[in-house]
Chains A and B, each alone.
Chain A
Amino acid sequence: MTRLILALALLIAPFAVRAEIEIQEVTSPGGIDAWLVQEPSIPFVALEIIIDGGASLDEPGKRGATNLMVGLLEEGAGDMDARAFQTAREGLAASYGFDAYDDSVVITARFLTENRDQAVDLLRKALTEPRFDQDALDRVRAQVQSIIRSDATDPNAIAGAAFDAAAFGDHPYGSDINGTAESVSALTRADMITAHRNALVRSRVHVGAAGDISAQELGTLLDDLLGALPQEGPVLPEAVEFGLDGGTTVIDFETPQSVALFGHEGLARDDEDFFAAYILNEILGGGLQSRLMEEVREKRGLTYGVYSTLVPKDHAALYLGNVASANQRIAEAIAVIRDEWARMAQDGVNAGELNAAKTYLTGAYPLRFDGNAAIAGILAGMQATGLAPDYVENRNAYVEAVTLDEINRVAGELLDPDGLHFVVVGQPQGLE
């Protein structure tokens, strides 16, 4: 077991230097890696487990299988049906979360020190001995079908589905992880067993833990919890090209405010320019202080919010944004966004903007580590992203190292005003 001590205080030299965070690298006796921040002052543990793969592992014709399977993990395990399982969980006052995403399944848990062994054993059953009873399958399937129906008349969901389909076609990224009414209605118990076998795989697990537990106790816990999962899983999907050209797609939908989702190709998380792009986005559309917010909201009052964000997925990279304005005003909002995109691509940022963004990003970073649940999530996420343990120590230095020349070179290379595609849902005036 190696041990790494990181003084968070080093990162925030201009700020108060009082708290330290100590990340321990833990390897369980059975060989499962985890990162831990031991924090005994509150008698509970927060755990986050990210398993690579996710809904992208859905087999052909089985769209929605991983999502439905994950929804069934809390619906009965071992000798307990759904109600018996939940009754036991409630009695322990433990909480478990099971979520499917494009590239991962994420399991979160928090449990009290006083009944930790029982809470972990119950979670173990959910992960390794799910029952997939037919009545539970039918019940959760009906819930998913209800969500699919609701999304069909939700403007944001309509925009997202149209954008993804146009950008990624038949790749799993091209369709919603919920599946379609048809694909979900055809899923069987056997499909659940296959999806479970494929998605919950030990070699793809990333574990973060924080709270009232020692490294040794965590090692034992992990072997108990995950030891019975299969070691290897099916091959992950291929990388996919972003297949959408610049332009505007209008989807007619009777509602007073048009919503627009826009974007073009982005940058991979491990690209050497990622930090420059990340800071660039912070200035362009990353938060409340961005240029897009200034131009579209503060100066013109055209929207409540406009944002852009880099979305580096495992098999494709996107640069996405969103805005919503009344039908008669959305055309102006979109024109302003296109202008800002072009202005940034051409002229880049100035030194003052770069400095302000760096000050914000470096100052805000340590504030993320503010509770067991938050820390467990950060630790798991860093491992899933392939970051080294010393990233916490070095991250702000990476931000500081980005130069004006570098960020403006990246602005020219990354931002493609002509490649930006807007999907607009509503009844916009003045748009084709």
Chain B
Amino acid sequence: MRRLAALVLALGLASALHAEEVTTATLDNGLEVVVIEDHRAPVVVHMLWYRAGSADEPVGSSGVAHFLEHLLFKATDTLESGEFSDIVAANGGSDNAFTSYDYTGYFQRVAADRLPLMMRMEADRMNNLRLTEEDIVTERGVILEERNQRVENSPNALAREQMRAAQYLNHRYGVPIIGWKHEMETLDMDDALAFYDLYYSPNNAVLVVAGDVQPDEVIALARDHFGPIPAEPDLPERVRSQEPPQTAERRMVFEDPRVSQPYLTRSYIAPERDSGAQEKAAALTYLAELLGGSPFTSALGVALQFDSQLAVYTSAYYGGRSLDDTTFGLTVVPAEGVTLQEAEAAMDVAIADFLAEGIDPDQLERLRTQLRAGEVYARDNVQGLARRYGAALTQGLTVEDVQAWPGILQAVTEEDILAAAREVLDPDRSVTGWVVPSREVLQ
């Protein structure tokens, strides 16, 4: 039972591209373990990731993944409510958690010799949570205030919700992680426990430990603390409703008097990084930089902020890490006196010119250099490295994919980028939103 099933992938590539030392193992109960060594400071980051996020929630209970994340800081069989974090703090550490579409994660940052205690407590709350009705009521108030703070009080966040809902025709990514307010208000004990009982299991989790640790010791500790927890036999295959072909351009006007700076934003449905097939995502990573990465050298920045003064801000965004279809986004904040219509027309011209004229080889080379340097800088932040692996392994990628990614980025060519751009920048797969204080500004 407590034997290691699989061991050890060592990284020996003498390249700056993957200089972090990574070791992996899988316990008999299915728990995957990733250890990243960084011996510069006597610190460890201990993270447990579940392959369960808001896109895995049952119909009608949006927000339950995030609600449960909050509730995991309540009592267990052996700890009182709040005691988990009190113990972490009493050991000089800090702890928190996060929920996304594809995963929920819990982490502590603490002196390296406190790792066994962290593991014992994290393993405990995988199985032994004891919630009360009072917990449910109080914490539901907290998440509703969190939604108030992050979303209801922010017209930009409200507009983003509407954009995503319009972008995804069939996939659960169109529902906000924190939940729709009317569904959050109905979340109860059964909703939370059903999600917990099914998904919080070793065969649905990835343990990432990064810092001043020895891999064999970490794996032995994981075996001791997590090993006795049985795998969930009924864990369902991870199937979400997928997007159909998107064949109609969508447009929206979002009106809120709290908007004092009108802007426009457009998103396109886009492919994500897939295991063994990350090349298109790599090309789109470049495309985002080339279109809107730097206000000084990108296509939108130069056209709208330098060659003309039509915009005060431009950007492009692509996030390739996603289990299912992701998005490619553009934003333009017009200069005073410039209408959204004029700004959007200028944006479209800039994109068309980019596709027609091709890519300056020097700029491509500079981007390559920056991406390569980014790997050097990334090694300074061991928690960032831990997040990179945890996110990848809960979003359908493997350790090999993570380590291949910098090399794949370096191999991207101009043809790859332009081909990906022509495929993705298709109006029929896009949503364009104008965010305004009042429709009157559109008159």
Interface residues of A (CB under 8 A from B): 9, 12, 15-19, 21, 39, 41-44, 46, 82-83, 85-87, 90-93, 110, 112, 138-139, 142-143, 145-146, 149-150, 152-153, 155, 254-257, 259, 287-289, 294, 297-305, 324-326, 329, 356, 359-367, 369-373
Interface string of B123-148 (1 = CB under 8 A from A): 00000000000000111111111101
Docked complex: B34-78 residues within 8 A CB-CB of A: 39-43
Contact A366 B42 (CB under 8 A): yes
Please indicate the chain A residues that have their CB under 8 angstroms from the CB of B112 in the complex: 15-16, 18
B207 contacts the other chain (CB 8 A): no
B120 contacts the other chain (CB 8 A): no
**How far in angstroms is the closest Cβ of chain A from B131?**
14
Contact A87 B296 (CB under 8 A): yes
Q: How far is the CA of A307 from the CA of B150 in the complex (A)?
A: 17
**Contacts A139-B306, A304-B142, A359-B89 supplied; 12 other A-B pairs, CB < 8 Å:** A44-B373, A90-B297, A256-B153, A257-B149, A257-B152, A297-B142, A301-B145, A325-B145, A326-B145, A366-B111, A367-B43, A370-B40
Given A152-B260, A367-B111, A16 and B42 contact (CB-CB distance below 8 Å): yes
Please indicate the chain B residues that have their CB under 8 angstroms from the CB of A299 in the complex: 138
Q: Across the two chains, which residue of chain B brings its CB closest to A92?
A: B369
B294 contacts the other chain (CB 8 A): yes
Please indicate the chain A residues that have their CB under 8 angstroms from the CB of B220 in the complex: none
B110 contacts the other chain (CB 8 A): yes
- Residue from the list B42, B373, B377 in contact with A15, Cβ < 8 A: B42
Please indicate the chain A residues that have their CB under 8 angstroms from the CB of B187 in the complex: none
Contact A93 B372 (CB under 8 A): yes
- Residue from the list A91, A143, A153 in contact with B260, Cβ < 8 A: A153
Given A301-B142, A324-B148, A145 and B40 contact (CB-CB distance below 8 Å): no
Given A15-B114, A86-B294, A289 and B86 contact (CB-CB distance below 8 Å): yes
B212 contacts the other chain (CB 8 A): yes
B221 contacts the other chain (CB 8 A): no
Interface string of B72-94 (1 = CB under 8 A from A): 00000000011001100111111
Contact B336 A145 (CB under 8 A): yes
Please indicate the chain A residues that have their CB under 8 angstroms from the CB of B148 in the complex: 256-257, 304, 324-326
Contact B40 A41 (CB under 8 A): yes
Contact A142 B335 (CB under 8 A): yes
Q: How far is the CA of A144 from the CA of B335 in the complex (A)?
A: 11
- Residue from the list B93, B212, B369 in contact with A93, Cβ < 8 A: B369
Q: How far is the CA of A362 from the CA of B92 in the complex (A)?
A: 7
**How far in angstroms is the closest Cβ of chain B from A94?**
8
Contact B145 A363 (CB under 8 A): no
A-B contact pairs, 30 of them (CB 8 A): A12-B42, A12-B92, A15-B114, A18-B112, A91-B365, A112-B376, A139-B306, A145-B336, A146-B313, A255-B153, A301-B138, A301-B139, A301-B142, A301-B145, A302-B145, A304-B142, A304-B145, A324-B145, A324-B148, A325-B148, A356-B86, A359-B89, A362-B92, A363-B91, A364-B94, A365-B92, A367-B43, A369-B41, A371-B380, A373-B381
Contact A370 B382 (CB under 8 A): yes
Given A44-B377, A91-B366, A110-B377, A155 and B153 contact (CB-CB distance below 8 Å): yes
Given A91-B369, A370-B382, A83 and B297 contact (CB-CB distance below 8 Å): yes
Contact A367 B259 (CB under 8 A): no
Q: How far is the CA of A16 from the CA of B41 in the complex (A)?
A: 10
Contact B212 A19 (CB under 8 A): yes
**How far in angstroms is the closest Cβ of chain A from B44?**
9
Q: How far is the CA of A361 from the CA of B94 in the complex (A)?
A: 11
Please indicate the chain A residues that have their CB under 8 angstroms from the CB of B144 in the complex: 326
Size class of the contact patch on chain B: 35 or more
Please indicate the chain A residues that have their CB under 8 angstroms from the CB of B82 in the complex: 289, 294, 298
**How far in angstroms is the closest Cβ of chain A from B136?**
10
Q: How far is the CA of A217 from the CA of B184 in the complex (A)?
A: 58
B241 contacts the other chain (CB 8 A): no
**How far in angstroms is the closest Cβ of chain B from A181?**
10
Contact A15 B92 (CB under 8 A): yes
B341 contacts the other chain (CB 8 A): no
Please indicate the chain A residues that have their CB under 8 angstroms from the CB of B189 in the complex: none
B413 contacts the other chain (CB 8 A): no
- Residue from the list A153, A254, A288, A303 in contact with B142, Cβ < 8 A: A303
Q: How far is the CA of A139 from the CA of B138 in the complex (A)?
A: 48
Please indicate the chain A residues that have their CB under 8 angstroms from the CB of B309 in the complex: 138-139, 142
Please indicate the chain B residues that have their CB under 8 angstroms from the CB of A303 in the complex: 142, 145
Please indicate the chain B residues that have their CB under 8 angstroms from the CB of A91 in the complex: 365-366, 369
Contact B89 A150 (CB under 8 A): no
B261 contacts the other chain (CB 8 A): yes
B109 contacts the other chain (CB 8 A): yes
Please indicate the chain B residues that have their CB under 8 angstroms from the CB of A153 in the complex: 257-260
B312 contacts the other chain (CB 8 A): yes
**How far in angstroms is the closest Cβ of chain A from B430?**
25
Given A91-B369, A139-B309, A356-B90, A256 and B152 contact (CB-CB distance below 8 Å): yes
- Residue from the list B89, B149, B306 in contact with A304, Cβ < 8 A: B149
B305 contacts the other chain (CB 8 A): yes
**How far in angstroms is the closest Cβ of chain B from A21?**
8
Contact B43 A372 (CB under 8 A): no
**How far in angstroms is the closest Cβ of chain A from B302?**
7
Please indicate the chain B residues that have their CB under 8 angstroms from the CB of A364 in the complex: 92-94
Please indicate the chain B residues that have their CB under 8 angstroms from the CB of A259 in the complex: 153
**How far in angstroms is the closest Cβ of chain B from A135?**
8
Given A42-B376, A87-B297, A93-B373, A146 and B261 contact (CB-CB distance below 8 Å): yes
Given A12-B111, A301-B138, A304-B146, A360 and B90 contact (CB-CB distance below 8 Å): yes
Please indicate the chain B residues that have their CB under 8 angstroms from the CB of A155 in the complex: 153
Q: Across the two chains, which residue of chain B brings its CB closest to A141?
A: B312
Contact B142 A15 (CB under 8 A): no
- Residue from the list B91, B137, B367, B380 in contact with A372, Cβ < 8 A: B380
- Residue from the list B43, B81, B150, B312 in contact with A146, Cβ < 8 A: B312
Q: How far is the CA of A366 from the CA of B219 in the complex (A)?
A: 26
**How far in angstroms is the closest Cβ of chain B from A84?**
9
Q: How far is the CA of A139 from the CA of B259 in the complex (A)?
A: 22
Q: Across the two chains, which residue of chain B brings its CB closest to A294?
A: B82
Interface centre among B137, B153, B261, B335 (most CB of A within 10 A): B153
**How far in angstroms is the closest Cβ of chain A from B217?**
12
Q: How far is the CA of A83 from the CA of B362 in the complex (A)?
A: 14
Q: How far is the CA of A143 from the CA of B380 in the complex (A)?
A: 32
Q: How far is the CA of A43 from the CA of B379 in the complex (A)?
A: 10
Please indicate the chain A residues that have their CB under 8 angstroms from the CB of B242 in the complex: none
Please indicate the chain B residues that have their CB under 8 angstroms from the CB of A371 in the complex: 40-41, 380-382
Please indicate the chain A residues that have their CB under 8 angstroms from the CB of B94 in the complex: 364, 367
Please indicate the chain B residues that have their CB under 8 angstroms from the CB of A369 in the complex: 41
Interface string of B194-236 (1 = CB under 8 A from A): 0000000000000000001000000000000000000000000
**How far in angstroms is the closest Cβ of chain A from B383?**
8
Q: How far is the CA of A367 from the CA of B41 in the complex (A)?
A: 8
Interface string of B26-40 (1 = CB under 8 A from A): 000000000000011
Please indicate the chain B residues that have their CB under 8 angstroms from the CB of A305 in the complex: 149
Contact B90 A359 (CB under 8 A): yes
Please indicate the chain A residues that have their CB under 8 angstroms from the CB of B374 in the complex: 93
Contact A324 B153 (CB under 8 A): yes
**How far in angstroms is the closest Cβ of chain B from A392?**
13
Q: Across the two chains, which residue of chain A brings its CB closest to B257?
A: A254
Contact A142 B85 (CB under 8 A): no
Contact B296 A18 (CB under 8 A): no
Interface centre among A152, A360, A371 (most CB of B within 10 A): A371
- A-B complex: 10 closest residue pairs judged by Cβ atoms: A363-B92, A301-B141, A93-B373, A86-B296, A257-B148, A15-B111, A304-B146, A301-B138, A16-B113, A153-B260
